[in-house]
Amino acid sequence: MWFIITTWRCNLNCKYCGNEPRPYGEPSRISYDLQELKTFISQDPEPIIAFYGGEPLLSAEIIEWILDNIPAKHYVLQTNGLLIRKLRPSYLNRLDTILVSIDGRQSVTDYYRGKGVYKAVVSNVKYLREIGYRGDIIARMTVSGKSDIYADVRHLIDLGLFDHIHWQLDVFFDAPPHQRYADFQSWLEKYVRGLDMLINFWLQELSKGRLIGIVPFQGLLKILVLGDTPKPPCGAGQSAFAISTSGKIFACPVSPSDDFLVGHIKWSKPADLAGKMTIGSPCTECEFYTSCGGRCLYAKTTMLWGEDLFFRVCSVTKYLISRLRGLIPRIQELVSSGVISWDSLLYPPFNNTTEIIP
């Protein structure tokens, strides 16, 4: 999978992200010849292209050019949801997956992303449905100190607009650590309680034959049942790479720094990039590594919060894996009785940029 960073610019300034349009000296917009990109990706027999930023739709014309000129097995868009109408309907309908950033309830979304963002995003997702979009629409949440995982996920479920809901925890991305939490440990304990409530609700609905698309639950079940864990689960540095605006190739789109640099579209070949960055110790010695896959290459490599807090968040990952592992006998009963099927349950069908484990 190739994250194509169309621009580092963004039209928002979210509290957990900020807005730095030239990270690590990279150009704010694509500065290489797009024909070079086409030549590079053509060497991959089954590429997945994911449009990324910044806000990729600030360069909608580049997205349309790539859709017209660079064949791929799947196309994915990650967007903050405000500029969806900049892409013409015929192009929107060629995308297999659209991930839209929304953090749950209106009060939480607008607190982190800006006043009025929630209503604008919901309106634009409704527009996607109106134009007949049939792909996978994913609500992509950032879960931070103001979030209530149960209340916010339930809110997005009740909207009835999204095929799937995914979230990432706002952890390991700031230094000094946990600036956006009044009491991180207390919040973490509340988060685990909310996870329990959400898992119980999800299983209850599953027992009625209603499959609610919650990516961390479905994705982890796929790993636990099939045992095909990418390491890390997002594929960063192994099967997923980011092509920055300069043409440099990074193992992870989150950090376009030399620490994550693995190549360049002018002189690298896709087949030569895998394995230049790996998870490594202490994750590889952990009993949960085969299920967790190291969780996040960026978090593991940078350790911005130090080992103590790193392992504290790991304990939540281990808890989630254990809870879902415990559901497998009941789910097997539901499959055997024809209430649900493994085919519908196991997700995602391809790497659609969901990192699986929060």
- Among 45-49, 157-161, 171-175, 249-253, name the one with the lowest average pLDDT: 171-175
Domain ranges of the chain: 2-345
Q: Average pLDDT in the 302-314 region? A: 92
Better-predicted residue by pLDDT, 177 or 324: 324
Contact 220, 356 (CB under 8 A): yes
- pLDDT 10s digits, 100-152: 999 999 999 999 999 999 999 999 999 999 999 999 999 999 999 999 999 99
Distance between CA atoms of residues 168 and 355, nearest Å: 8
Contacts of residue 41, Cβ cutoff 8 Å, sequence gap at least 6: 2, 47, 49, 70, 72, 270
Contacts of residue 64, Cβ cutoff 8 Å, sequence gap at least 6: 87, 88, 91
> Strand order of the sheet with strand 248-250?
164-169, 136-143, 97-101, 74-79, 48-52, 2-5, 241-243, 248-250, 261-264
Side chain identity at 324, as an amino acid letter?
L
Q: Is 25 a residue whose pLDDT tops 90? A: no
- pLDDT 10s digits, 338-352: 999 999 999 999 999
pLDDT at 23: 59
Q: How many residues does the chain have?
A: 358
- Where does the pLDDT of residue 19 fall: very low under 50, low under 70, confident under 90, or very high at 90 and above? low
Q: Is 21 a residue whose pLDDT tops 60? A: no
Which CATH number is associated with domain 2-345? 3.20.20.70
- Where does the pLDDT of residue 17 fall: very low under 50, low under 70, confident under 90, or very high at 90 and above? confident
Alpha helices by DSSP H, listed for the chain, are: 34-41, 60-69, 89-92, 106-113, 117-130, 149-159, 184-207, 215-226, 289-292, 297-302, 306-336, 342-345
- pLDDT 10s digits, 201-256: 999 999 999 999 999 999 999 999 998 677 899 999 999 999 999 999 999 998 87
Q: Is 3 a residue whose pLDDT tops 70? A: yes
Distance between CA atoms of residues 273 and 250, nearest Å: 10
Query: Does pTM top 0.85 for this prediction?
Result: yes
